[in-house]
Amino acid sequence: MRFLLRTLLFFSALSWSTFASASSKTDEEGFNVSEYIMHHIQDAHEWHLWGEGHDATSIYLPIILIDNGVKVFSSSHFYHGKEVHLNNEHCFMGTGPAEGYALVHEKIYALEGGQLNIHDGHVTNAMPWDLSVTKNVLSLFIGVGILLLVLMSTARYYRKNGAVSPKGIAKFIEPLILFVRDEVAIPNIHGGKHVKYLGFLTTVFFFILVNNLLGMIPVFPGGANLTGNITITMFLAVCTLLITVFSGNKNYWKHIFATPGVPWLLLPIMIPIEIVGIFTKPFALMIRLFANITAGHIIVLALISIIFINKSEAWGALSVPMALFISVLEILVAFLQAYLFSMLSALFIGAAVEEDHH
């Protein structure tokens, strides 16, 4: 709790500096809340720490492009490159090794004759393959690093001490592992088949949990909206989908193509519905995690923004307690969504490997 409070205080202080510089710059046109929130919850090629514009202190992340060979350079060549405004679009023209490329809305375009072509507010230039280590990718690496560090030391404890009661970090991690096994895997995947899928379920649980919690930390190494990114949730949902489809037994497919107890005249309707059902389940997984985490970030940022919209510190008396409340709620959501994702994955896998009871 003390850690949380400290984190939040730091968060508010940091937001203060960030937003203060922003509001001073955009004073005349007013503080654009939605633009600011969108910037914070989306991916970027830099990890912004504080300050604004050319005074900003950021961690410039490596850009990796595949465009007639692999090109690797720092994103500072964009952010500290030539800044131009085209049709109200904020464009960074690359300099040095980034020459010939432009960064618009965190997307990299190849210039055609040194020009950006814009039609109906969209850049129509070709896009090289962008495999950059972005903010979310670095956050992913940090999250996985923390996970490996914590879990490996847990495993080391057992390797060193054998089958004994847990102590230290193992005391914290073991109940979580056993929770996934006893409350997620075993009740949903019957007949002792859970053993095969337990590795995936525990990995997904810990992966989502650690990245949810990292997202709650407002500054580096946290603050990236990783589990609120559709790419991550899509990847995890596709993993569940593939496992479900490839472990589906005869019984599972029979329920899809010849649902027992359904008159055959209804089958032309039922089969498409069931096939759509295969995809809607993981789709719901993808949307649930994405929406929950993104919404949490948006609410906290919006509540803090109240201060800057009204340009009065006094509003902090309202917005800080509310943001604190939502942040505490988000910690609950972090655990809840990790549990839900693994639980529903287990449920879908369990349905796919269920034996016929008729």
Partner 1 sequence: MELITPSYGLLFWTGITFCLLLFILAKFVWKPVLNAVNARSQKIDEALLEADKARKEMQALHAENERILKEAKAQRDEILKEAKEAATRLVDDAREKAKTEGNKLIESARVAIDNERNAAIAEMKTQIAQFSIEIAEHLVKESLSSDVKQKELTTKMVGELKLN
Task: Give contact residues for partner 1 (rule: CB under 8 A).
Answer: 38, 41-43, 105, 129-134, 136-137, 140-141, 144, 147-148, 151-152, 154-155, 158-159, 162-165, 170, 173-174, 177-178, 181, 198-200, 202-203, 206-207, 229-232, 234-236, 239, 290, 294
Based on CB atoms, which residue is closest to partner 1, 17 or 161? Answer: 161
**Least CB distance to partner 1 at residue 52 (A):** 22
**Least CB distance to partner 1 at residue 72 (A):** 13
**Least CB distance to partner 1 at residue 264 (A):** 39
Task: Tell me the helices (H) and strands (E) count for the chain, helix number first.
Answer: 11, 11
**Least CB distance to partner 1 at residue 16 (A):** 26
Based on CB atoms, which residue is closest to partner 1, 143 or 270? Answer: 143
8 Å CB contact between 236 and 289: yes
**Least CB distance to partner 1 at residue 240 (A):** 12
What is the DSSP secondary-structure string of 109-147?
EE-BTTB--EETTEE-S---EE----HHHHHHHHHHHHH
Based on CB atoms, which residue is closest to partner 1, 198 or 353? Answer: 198
Based on CB atoms, which residue is closest to partner 1, 8 or 123? Answer: 123
Structure tokens at 266: 């209804």
* Residue type at position 46: E
59 in helix, strand or coil?
strand
**Least CB distance to partner 1 at residue 55 (A):** 26
* CA–CA gap between residue 273 and residue 276 (Å, rounded): 5
Based on CB atoms, which residue is closest to partner 1, 224 or 320? Answer: 224
194-216 helix and 316-353 helix, angle to the nearest 10 degrees: 170
**Least CB distance to partner 1 at residue 159 (A):** 6
**Cα–Cα distances in Å, from 25 out to 39, 40, 85, 304?**
16, 18, 16, 18
* Residue type at position 220: F
**Of 175, 193, 172, the residue nearest 183 (C-alpha):** 175
Based on CB atoms, which residue is closest to partner 1, 23 or 132? Answer: 132
Q: 3-state SS string over 336-350?
A: HHHHHHHHHHHHHHH
292 in helix, strand or coil?
helix
Based on CB atoms, which residue is closest to partner 1, 286 or 320? Answer: 286
